[in-house]
């Protein structure tokens, strides 16, 4: 697919809109269908499309294995951090009301942060799975 100009142009045109749609699903998830998992899969699909069309090496140059691992850990820390902050504020684990003391604002901030952590984690895990199944091995020499 690397040498097919139709695929290359289509991938270049679709890359940013796919990510924008994933961000829409991410941040609109508390008002309608969607959320972190769906957004993570959509955003990962943009990077997977890039890797399929331009080659696995180019995909790994866009998001290296090291960066992907850090992003994966960051997503889990965001998710878990919301729960730990809730505990330190005197609430239960993932008790969003404890974040601000107000039911409305606490629930809103809490779900956005938790869904952000889920979205970031799912995106990076999907990329890691794609590269693992594609058989891409990074050369460290």
Please give the DSSP secondary-structure letter assigned to residue 135. Answer: T
**Helix, coil or strand: residue 94:** coil
pLDDT in tens, 44-88: 999 999 999 999 889 899 999 999 999 999 999 999 999 999 999
Distance CA 141, CA 56 (A): 18
Q: What is the pLDDT at residue 101?
A: 81
Q: What is the pLDDT at residue 1?
A: 67
Q: What is the pLDDT at residue 141?
A: 47
Q: How many CB atoms lie within 10 A of CB 49?
A: 17
pLDDT in tens, 80-120: 999 999 999 888 888 888 888 888 888 888 888 999 999 99
Q: Is the pTM of this model over 0.75?
A: yes
């Amino acid at each position: 697919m690397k040498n097919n100009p139709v695929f290359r142009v289509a991938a270049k045109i679709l890359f940013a809109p796919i990510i924008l749609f994933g961000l829409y699903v991410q941040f609109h998830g508390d008002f309608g269908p969607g959320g972190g998992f769906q957004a993570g899969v959509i955003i990962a699909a943009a990077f997977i499309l890039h890797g399929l069309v331009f080659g696995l090496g180019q995909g790994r140059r866009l998001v290296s294995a090291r960066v992907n691992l850090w992003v994966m850990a960051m997503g889990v820390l965001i998710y878990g951090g919301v729960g730990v902050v809730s505990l330190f504020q005197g609430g239960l684990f993932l008790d969003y009301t404890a974040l601000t003391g107000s039911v409305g604002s606490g629930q809103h901030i809490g779900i956005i942060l938790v869904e952000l952590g889920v979205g970031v984690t799912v995106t990076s895990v999907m990329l890691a799975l794609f590269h693992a199944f594609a058989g891409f091995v990074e050369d460290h020499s």
